[in-house]
Structure 1
């Protein structure tokens, strides 16, 4: 049975979505804020997330960013924001689809089926999202890093940067993508940000920061995480 996580702070709309989905044999969890949604996503491992952007505790864009740090679950945004910039922003940070409110239930169900089909072609995410190297361990769900017996304290920016690299092992992640996802589209030319923060990550995680083994620079192009 397909499991859907509904993230919506409007009680009436959330109830309508849950009833309609359950009537069509979906298994449904509902969260009214971003923190609860992330907890449910980690614990319940949904097949699809239906996400409102206007949440009471955090913006839905931030929920997508944090979710993408450790999960590739399809995210279908349901939002009253109908500007093209809002749609582009949500898709750029990792949403798979975007519907504006009000919407028809038939169209929502069609897009939900399409998202489910796409997920079936993608290998499932590991149940335990822990990355282990010879020098450090990163738990993507708990958002913790350790070197030996000691926790490594990372700033939110350092953590976001590390998440993107670790979830793309062996693949080049462009400077532009990192800047846009971590600092926003208006900062896509600030490459010195990357140099500063990558240096900080290497000092905290690499055994020899001057000769990194894991956080690799591809000059002029971007960075890679090597296991």
Structure 2
């Protein structure tokens, strides 16, 4: 079965260009011209990847990304004509997984798309991994869901991966470089500050859900480890 990709861009030339480049890999591509159209299509169809332009005629890519992240963990590759780091950080804050700046090289587009889909497939294949439980918090690798008191918490794919990685080895300290190596593909944009942004988002989402303590503890000058309630609450 082919992987399904939704390309969202108001310019026909850009959508067609992406389709031509991605014709080299075995994927089905659907197209949306507006943000609202994209949201409607995502509600009806399951996609392996969303390629999302920021500048759209109705609602912008930021709003689409935020809306999608309320209910779905589909990987999101955002397209932007700006290389401003503030845009990239903002995108990470609201749930984007990767960025590509226009104009882009065809080989880079194919590489980033392939990496995002491959990583998601690898994660989903880990069916034998048990559910992790920590007081009111449960982390299920099979369904890729996080719950606090049985209430689902909407984490982005990378936020989920970071939380699961650290929680699965609660006595281990992870440097930012280790987290990048384990979760980010080698051809993805790799910024140490992105780790801090994702960890901040995880903490805020769990705190807002009513979770009783901060699940990821900062080890100053090194990185992060899971908050062990038996050791750290004494």
TM over 0.5: yes
Quote the residue 1:3 is aligned against.
4
Q: Secondary structure at the match of 1:49?
A: strand
Structure 1 portions without partners, runs of 5+: 125-164, 182-190, 195-214, 223-227
Report if the CA contact (8 A) 1:33-1:56 is conserved: yes
Quote the residue 2:210 is aligned against.
216
Quote the residue 1:73 is aligned against.
74
In structure 2, the CA distance between the partners of 1:217 and 1:119, relative to structure 1 (3 Å rule), is: closer
Q: Secondary structure at the match of 2:123?
A: coil
Counterpart-to-counterpart distance in 1, 2:84 and 2:60:
16
The 5 Å alignment of 1:84-103 reads: 84-103=85-104
TM-score (normalizing by structure 2): 0.55
Per the TM alignment, residue 122 of structure 1 is displaced from its structure 2 partner at its CA by 3.3
The 5 Å alignment of 1:64-213 reads: 64-123=65-124, 166-168=152-154, 177=201
Q: Secondary structure at the match of 2:7?
A: strand
**What is the alpha-carbon root mean square deviation over aligned residues?**
3.2
Counterpart-to-counterpart distance in 2, 1:108 and 1:178:
28
Quote the residue 1:56 is aligned against.
57
Quote the residue 2:22 is aligned against.
21
Quote the residue 1:153 is aligned against.
none
In structure 2, the CA distance between the partners of 1:2 and 1:89, relative to structure 1 (3 Å rule), is: same
Structure 2 portions without partners, runs of 5+: 126-150, 156-162, 164-197, 216-234
Report if the CA contact (8 A) 1:77-1:99 is conserved: yes
Q: Secondary structure at the match of 1:73?
A: coil
- Number of equivalenced pairs: 149
